[in-house]
Structure 1
Amino acid sequence: MSDNMFCFQCEQTASQAGCTGCAGVCGKSASTSKLQDELTGALMGLAKKYNDNRNEEITKLLIEGLFTTVTNVNFNDDTLKKMIADIRSYDIADEYDIINLWRENEDIRSLKSLILFGLRGMAAYAYHAMVLDYEDEEVNAFIYEGLISVSENLSFDKLLEKVLEVGKVNLKCMELLDRANTESYGMPEPTKVSLKIAKGPFIVITGHDLKDIKLLLEQTKDKGINIYTHGEMLPAHAYPELKKYPHLKGNFGTAWQNQQKEFDNIPGAILYTTNCLMPVKESYADRVFTTEVVSYPEMVHIGDEKDFTPVIEKALALGGYSEDVQMTGINGGTEVMTGFAHNTVLSNAEKIISEVKAGNISHFFLVGGCDGARTGRNYYTEFVKQSPKDSIILTLACGKYRFNDLDLGDISGLPRIMDMGQCNDAYSAIKVAVALSEAFECGVNELPLSMVLSWYEQKAVCILLTLLYLGIKDIYLGPTLPAFISKNVLEFLIENYGISPISTPENDLKKILNK
């Protein structure tokens, strides 16, 4: 492995082995990658020093630091250096050199990578809850303990226990964020979202942070500016306290990996609240703004004061389109639906159960997760198109853009595609699965429910670990398997959990339905 750069935390890692040399496939430079490693080592030292004296200030640093190292969040060496300096101001003496992790026995490295990357994903959820003043002591404590465990000399079995503990604590963290979002903005409601962009000034807001879109909607009231969601912000349309703003008009574009094409010469301002940020092209660089942990060199950053005046002024100066522009999803659809969180689905539980018993619903598929640029992700489009006409597709995260504009009709008034929300709304899917298993008096694995997941970054890792902790089996995962999972660890997952790499929609559907 090259000491210059080594990173294999995301799905698109080079040659499905690791990014080395001068830059990663995601666009981060070797210097940025090395600083992220340095930051991670400093966070481990900070966690070790304060584990017996945990406090709000240190916890915030750990959560923010971990989130900063998630793929496509921060490309700015200056902000990384400042964060490292802030951590070192606490006089930590026991920093961990991350190179030692990459040089571990491959099975130990694999398990420690699952812990570390799972912690990074969980920290993103903890951060979103934290900005809404929701915290959980068990979640916070485990962030310290998990970081420390990566630096320790633990056995395979002990590390495996810790891997599943990441899944256990992440379930609690997702529940915390679900509560934070719903108590702050109301329970999501099924909502149609237009893909048409109205003429006139507009701002596109992308990422996951609902507090940021709420603040932006407030600051743009009565200013003649329309607001459009992008990527993982789409589910914001379903929350009553957000959808009440008439200038929250619709959704712009599709998933994150298409942004360089979709934002080319865009006559509006763009606000990034979280990942996924791609290297910014010159044709729209002067209209990109970042906030929270997102940072990119030379882009204007909106700090904790959350004054979005520069974003608003840029939108007004650009003026927007001169006429309405009809955008479409990747399948040509002109509107999508969202808002089928656990409260909506479970309020229809009796109807769903009766439709299953009557033979009108044969199967449920959870088809979701992160989207990405790798060839072969059209598998998910074709899988949904070929799914039985008496099946229901539950979906979440940005992987849904592969098919969420398809019109698959309904079953007795129940839409065949139900968008449950952002990636953290895997919690909704889990709640629904558990409720259905109780109603049918069987285990989740005995339900006519199959999970066909796509992954890209570290939030997908912590969700996968939660599903494993819950004992959910026979998950189909793609478009490739994580490079950081060793052969022996993969064999363990296959043997104990039945994890399968995706093959073709035809073969996988046949295998699932003939079980």
Structure 2
Amino acid sequence: MNTKMFCNQCEEAAGNKACTIQGVCGKDSELANLLDELKEYLKVLSKQIENDTEGHNEEKRFIMDSLFKLITNANFNKENIRHQIEEAKTYTKRNDVVAFYEENEDINALKSLIMGGLMGMAAYHSHATHLGYEDQDIHNFMVKTLAGFNEMHDLETCLRVVDETGAYGVKVMAFLDTANTSSYGNPEITNVNIGVGTRPGILISGHDLADLAQLLEQSKDSGIDIYTHSEMLPAHYYPKFKQYSHLKGNYGNAWWKQTTEFETFNGPILFTTNCIVPPKANAGYVDRLYSTGNCDYPGFKRIPVNPDGTKDFSEIIKQAQSCSSPTEIESGSIVGGFAHNQVLALADTVVENIKNGSIRKFIVMSGCDGRKRDRTYYADFARTLKDDTIILTSGCAKYRYNKLNLGDINGVPRVLDAGQCNDSYSWVVIAMKLQEIFKLNDINELPISFNIAWYEQKAIIVLLSLLHLGIKDIKVGPSLPSYLSETTASYLVEHYGISGIQSVVEDITTFG
């Protein structure tokens, strides 16, 4: 393969094919190749421990964290990845690995789905692990799949593993849901402030609720406020976090707008997971950037984890105290907190509105947002939907329409936000409950359609989970994964009804 790099794992793949010189996300070829090397070491390590599933917990956690580091926009620090590779060499007692390239495009397409699913699964399991929850069955599936990865040479085997990955996707999302709700309570309907206060603040980005919990506790008497950014917005829905009066609100929008919104925030910004946009060298906020966990970028101040699992946020708190308060970029509030427990508590109201015809249709518009101009489709789609349609959302895709004035249906908001991308699990729980209530044989008989936006690997594990559960006729956009071959794309269309988005008018007509 005569290229400086080859990366097609995310929706931004150059020309909807692959990045071969420089990653659109900001990775250079050296970093991309280091990440590929780490991936090969994970396969070797998994092969070595696959037959001893009762032990090797340290190695399993290393594999989980390494898979997380491979996710798009997570870790740009070459030294960090080199250190990870050196650890892998210690575990495997190997000083080199041979990169494996699958030449059969159909097998390669299915393996890409599997690998993307494993990365997303590792991210979700990592969040649960930080809360003290760990599932050996999930660990062992990742090990087993990586161990046999290079030996998958037929379509039947690959298709079986794709489905198994989806099954474990459902399992890991349910597991993380249990970890989150056991730690912080069940999300509640909440109006979240999107304006600012007069005190200086810290902006926390990413997905890790455990980091937020520690930051809130350590900063509660420091005279500063804490603001959430992008996928941290749903933290406001949890009862435990509502106890902190200095959790002031949500600042800004989806991850890709951070290069402008971080300038105006004025205080330090903490990245807890992926969705880093490389800052320009002369950006005014570079000296205010911190990272922790599996994400990193050269030059960011680093907050390490202590041996007991805690983190010391005193440095970022001290810097915040010397900063100006955030510049207001919008005002008002947005409503969310419609995870499965809350929606099922309103089941009678929802069912009555369905029965009397007030609610005719639900459209699940979960997933990721991104930078491409054609993503205006999702805002236009939301605006064009009929007034008897409810949008069910989770993930940062919601920022395309959660601040539109779409009204409500007899008191039920027309945009119901369940939370982060992993909270797409809530829509599965709700759909299965409605299937039970209406005594339907097939979940696809419900008036629920899926129009999913994807960007990176966590959206892939959500997609595979939906396919495993038998959800059909899902639209995926703004483009299908570039690594899908003609054969695999045809298979997904024939067996699951998956298709790409078209125009807003065409798709609304299709969904009915």
- State the TM-score, normalizing by the size of structure 1: 0.96
Cα separation, 2, equivalents of 1:176 and 1:148: 24
Q: What are the ranges of 5 or more consecutive residues in structure 2 without an aligned counterpart?
A: none
Q: What are the ranges of 5 or more consecutive residues in structure 1 without an aligned counterpart?
A: none
Correspondence for 1:136: 135
What SS is found at the alignment partner of 1:275? coil
* Residues 1:96 and 1:360: Cα distance change in structure 2 (over 3 Å): farther
Residue identity opposite 1:252 in structure 2: Y
Q: Does 1:17 align with 2:17?
A: yes
Cα separation, 1, equivalents of 2:359 and 2:284: 48
Contact 2:303 2:312 in 1 (8 A): yes
Deviation, 1:2, is 3.3
Correspondence for 1:214: 213
Cα separation, 1, equivalents of 2:262 and 2:324: 15
Q: Does 1:371 align with 2:369?
A: yes
What SS is found at the alignment partner of 2:232? helix
Deviation, 1:199, is 2.0
Post-superposition CA distance 1:303-347 (Å, at most 9, x none): 0031111111111122324xxx4423xxxx732112100001111
Correspondence for 1:236: 235
* Residues 1:312 and 1:2: Cα distance change in structure 2 (over 3 Å): farther
Q: Does 1:8 align with 2:5?
A: no
Correspondence for 2:473: 474
Deviation, 1:94, is 10
Correspondence for 2:399: 401
Q: Does 1:318 align with 2:323?
A: yes
Contact 1:167 1:469 in 2 (8 A): yes
Residue identity opposite 2:221 in structure 1: D
Contact 2:366 2:424 in 1 (8 A): no
Post-superposition CA distance 1:269-312 (Å, at most 9, x none): 10000010010233111000000011111111100031111111
Correspondence for 1:64: 65
What SS is found at the alignment partner of 1:507? helix
Deviation, 1:127, is 0.3
Cα separation, 1, equivalents of 2:253 and 2:144: 38
Q: Which moved more, 1:472-481 or 1:345-354?
A: 345-354
Contact 1:45 1:95 in 2 (8 A): no
Contact 1:41 1:95 in 2 (8 A): no
Q: Does 1:107 align with 2:106?
A: yes
Correspondence for 2:184: 185
1:358 to 356, 359, 379: 356
Correspondence for 1:43: 42
Cα separation, 2, equivalents of 1:149 and 1:174: 24
Cα separation, 1, equivalents of 2:207 and 2:199: 25
Post-superposition CA distance 1:35-72 (Å, at most 9, x none): 10010000111111011123210110010000000000
Cα separation, 1, equivalents of 2:168 and 2:279: 35
Task: Give the number of aligned pairs.
Answer: 503
Amino-acid identity (%): 44
Correspondence for 1:337: 335
Contact 1:44 1:95 in 2 (8 A): no
Correspondence for 2:314: 309
Pairwise CA RMSD of aligned residues?
1.3
Deviation, 1:464, is 0.5
Q: Does 1:251 align with 2:253?
A: no
1:343-492 equivalences in 2 (<5 Å)? 343-442=341-440, 443-492=442-491
Cα separation, 2, equivalents of 1:482 and 1:277: 21
Contact 1:204 1:269 in 2 (8 A): yes
Cα separation, 2, equivalents of 1:191 and 1:445: 30
Cα separation, 2, equivalents of 1:228 and 1:345: 26
Deviation, 1:266, is 3.5
1:81-96 equivalences in 2 (<5 Å)? 81-93=82-94
Cα separation, 2, equivalents of 1:243 and 1:149: 45
* Residues 1:109 and 1:97: Cα distance change in structure 2 (over 3 Å): farther
What SS is found at the alignment partner of 1:459? helix
Correspondence for 1:327: 329
Correspondence for 1:73: 74
Residue identity opposite 2:387 in structure 1: K
Post-superposition CA distance 1:339-376 (Å, at most 9, x none): 10000111111221121111111001111210000111
